[in-house]
Structure 1
Amino acid sequence: MGGNSGSGTTAASVDKRPNELLNSWFVRSGWSKGELARQVNRRARQLGANHISTDTSRVRRWLDGENPREPIPRILSELFSERFGCVVSVEDLGLRAARQSPSATGVDLPWTGPQTVALLSEFSRSDLMLARRGFLGTSLVLTAGPSLIEPLQRWLVPSPGGPQPPPESAADSRRPGRLSRPELELLESTTVMFRQWDAQCGGGLRRKAVVGQLHEVTDLLQEPQPEATARRLFKVAAELAELAGWMSYDVGLQPTAQKYFVLALHAAKEAGDKPLGSYILSSMSRQMIHLGRPDDALELIHLAQYGSRDCASPRTQSMLYAMEARAYANMGQPGKCKRAVRMAEDTFAEADEWDAPDPDWIRFFSEAELYGENSHSFRDLAYVAGRSPTYASLAEPLMRKAVELFAKDAEHQRSYALNLIGMATVHLLRGEPEQSTVLASEAMGIAKKVRSERVNTRIRKTVDSAVREHGDLAVVVDLTEQLAVDLPETAEAV
Structure 2
Amino acid sequence: MINPVVGVPDMTDSTASPGLPSRLLADPEMVAACAARDFALIFQLAKRKGGFHASRIARACDLTPSRVGEVMNGKPKITNITVIERIADGLRIPGHLLGLAARSWEVPAAPPAGQPAPIPRQATDSWFPESPPPGTGLDEILAIAAGTRVTPTVLRSLQSSIEDYWRRDDEHGGEALRPAVIGQLRYVKGILHDTAEPNFRRSLHGIAAELARLTGWTYFDARQYSTARGYFVESLRLAREIDDRPFVANVLACLSLQATYQDQAREAITLARAAQDSARLSGGTPRLMAMLSMREAFGHATEHDREATHLAINEALHQFERIDPTDDDPAWVQYFDRTKLTVDTGIALGQLGDAEAAEPLIAEALQGEAATNQRGRAFHTFWLARTQLQRHEVELACTTATEALNLAADVESPRVLAHLREFSELLHPYRSAPIASELVRRIGALATR
TM-score by length of 1: 0.64
C-alpha separation in 2, matches of 1:286 and 1:260: 15
C-alpha separation in 1, matches of 2:295 and 2:50: 32
Instruction: Report if aligned partners of 1:73, 1:95 keep a CA contact under 8 Å in 2.
Output: no
Aligned-partner SS, 1:71:
helix
> CA 1:273–1:289 in 2, change beyond 3 Å: closer, same or farther?
same
Residue 70 in structure 1 maps to residue 72 in structure 2? no
Name which of 394, 418, 426 aligns with 1:465: 426
Deviates more, 1:257-266 or 1:43-52: 43-52
Name which of 297, 322, 346 aligns with 1:325: 297
Q: Deviations over 1:225-261 (max 9, x none)?
A: 2111111111001111000000111012111100000
Unaligned 5+ runs, structure 2: 12-43, 52-67, 89-97, 103-123, 130-147
AA in 1 matched with 2:364: K
> CA 1:68–1:220 in 2, change beyond 3 Å: closer, same or farther?
closer
Instruction: Report if aligned partners of 2:417, 2:447 keep a CA contact under 8 Å in 1.
Output: no
Name which of 423, 428, 448 aligns with 2:409: 448
Instruction: Report if aligned partners of 1:73, 1:90 keep a CA contact under 8 Å in 2.
Output: no
> CA 1:331–1:460 in 2, change beyond 3 Å: closer, same or farther?
same
Instruction: Report if aligned partners of 1:232, 1:271 keep a CA contact under 8 Å in 2.
Output: no
Q: Deviations over 1:189-214 (max 9, x none)?
A: 11111111111111212111111110
> CA 1:378–1:102 in 2, change beyond 3 Å: closer, same or farther?
farther
> What does residue range 108-123 of structure 1 map to in structure 2 within 5 Å?
none
In structure 2, the partner of 1:402 is 365
Instruction: Report if aligned partners of 1:192, 1:360 keep a CA contact under 8 Å in 2.
Output: no
Aligned-partner SS, 2:283:
coil
In structure 2, the partner of 1:211 is 182
Larger Rg over CA atoms: 2
Q: Deviations over 1:303-348 (max 9, x none)?
A: 1101111422211111101111111111121111101111111211
Q: Deviations over 1:394-420 (max 9, x none)?
A: 2112111122222xx133211111000
C-alpha separation in 2, matches of 1:307 and 1:102: 30
In structure 2, the partner of 1:481 is 441
C-alpha separation in 2, matches of 1:355 and 1:68: 49
> What does residue range 60-459 of structure 1 map to in structure 2 within 5 Å?
70-71=47-48, 91=70, 178-309=149-280, 310-351=282-323, 353-382=324-353, 391-406=354-369, 409-459=370-420
C-alpha separation in 2, matches of 1:69 and 1:277: 31
Instruction: Report if aligned partners of 2:9, 2:48 keep a CA contact under 8 Å in 1.
Output: no
* Bigger relative contact order, structure 1 or 2 (CA pairs below 8 A, ≥6 apart): 1
TM-score by length of 2: 0.70
> CA 1:90–1:295 in 2, change beyond 3 Å: closer, same or farther?
farther
C-alpha separation in 2, matches of 1:343 and 1:282: 16
C-alpha separation in 2, matches of 1:73 and 1:303: 37
Instruction: Report if aligned partners of 1:314, 1:354 keep a CA contact under 8 Å in 2.
Output: no
Aligned-partner SS, 1:252:
coil
Equivalenced residue count is 348
In the TM superposition, residue 94 of structure 1 has moved relative to its aligned partner by 6.8
C-alpha separation in 2, matches of 1:95 and 1:233: 34
RMSD: 3.6
> CA 1:91–1:393 in 2, change beyond 3 Å: closer, same or farther?
farther
AA in 1 matched with 2:409: K
C-alpha separation in 2, matches of 1:72 and 1:379: 40
Unaligned 5+ runs, structure 1: 1-41, 53-66, 75-88, 106-113, 119-124, 131-176, 383-390
In the TM superposition, residue 293 of structure 1 has moved relative to its aligned partner by 0.1
Aligned-partner SS, 2:174:
coil
In structure 2, the partner of 1:58 is none
In structure 2, the partner of 1:13 is none
Calculate percent identity across the aligned residue pairs: 26
> CA 1:311–1:127 in 2, change beyond 3 Å: closer, same or farther?
farther
In the TM superposition, residue 366 of structure 1 has moved relative to its aligned partner by 2.2
In structure 1, the partner of 2:133 is none
> CA 1:449–1:50 in 2, change beyond 3 Å: closer, same or farther?
farther
In the TM superposition, residue 272 of structure 1 has moved relative to its aligned partner by 2.3
Instruction: Report if aligned partners of 1:241, 1:260 keep a CA contact under 8 Å in 2.
Output: yes
